[in-house]
Amino acid sequence: MAKQHLKPVCTRLELNAASYLKRNIRFKNQPVSAIIFAFEACAYAYVNHCMHMHRPLNCEQDAIFDETGKYLRCSMHGFIFDPKTGECQSPVCFGQRLQTLRLEEFDGTLYFAEKHLTLID
Ligand code: FES
């Protein structure tokens, strides 16, 4: 992939030190937020948008994981998601997925690797 499609997100050290990070982005011409986190030593990023009632996962509390740390959890109604795939595990939205944002890592820095993404701040 050409480097011009890479937009810096954070360093790997910053990500490892945080439970999650949030970035304001424009994705496919929509202003949205992205959540970025490390899970089992891998970095993941998703558009921060629960498909149930279209709320950010952290809308009611400053957290995106459930108490076990094994699942992402929307703080609005408690729906849970597989952190590796973004797939909803709760019955109403079972099988629907959070929008994945591809990441690349070079020299300890993570980048969004999406053509249709720009950083807002
Ligand atoms: S809005 Fe996310 S679980 Fe309802």
Class of domain 1-49+99-121: mainly beta
Give the pTM. 0.95
What pLDDT, on the 0 to 100 scale, is given for residue 3? 72
Q: Ligand 1: which atom is nearest the Cα of residue 57?
A: 2
Ligand 1 pocket, Cβ-based, cut-off 6 angstroms: 50, 52-53, 55, 74, 76-77, 79
Tell me phi and psi for residue 95, to 5 degrees. Answer: 90, -20
What pLDDT, on the 0 to 100 scale, is given for residue 100? 98
Residue 63 has pLDDT above 90, yes or no: yes
Give dist(CA 10, CA 21) in Å, integer.
9
- Other CB atoms within 10 A of residue 97 CB: 14
Q: What is the CA(77)–ligand 1 centre distance, in A? A: 5
What pLDDT, on the 0 to 100 scale, is given for residue 5? 84
Residue 1 has pLDDT above 70, yes or no: no
Q: What is the pLDDT of residues 66-118, one digit of tens each?
A: 999 999 999 999 999 999 999 999 999 999 999 999 999 999 999 999 999 99
> For ligand 1, atom 1, which residue shows the shortest CA distance?
53
What pLDDT, on the 0 to 100 scale, is given for residue 2? 59
Tell me phi and psi for residue 2, to 5 degrees. Answer: -65, 140
Domain ranges of the chain: 1-49+99-121, 57-97
Q: What is the pLDDT of residues 11-62, one digit of tens each?
A: 999 999 999 999 999 999 999 999 999 999 999 999 999 999 999 999 999 9
Among 10, 3, 68, 69, CA closest to 43: 10
Q: Ligand 1: which atom is nearest the Cα of residue 79?
A: 3
Counting ligand 1 atoms within 8 A of each CB, the residue from 76, 81, 94 with the most, and so the one to mutate, is 76
Counting ligand 1 atoms within 8 A of each CB, the residue from 58, 61, 71, 77 with the most, and so the one to mutate, is 77
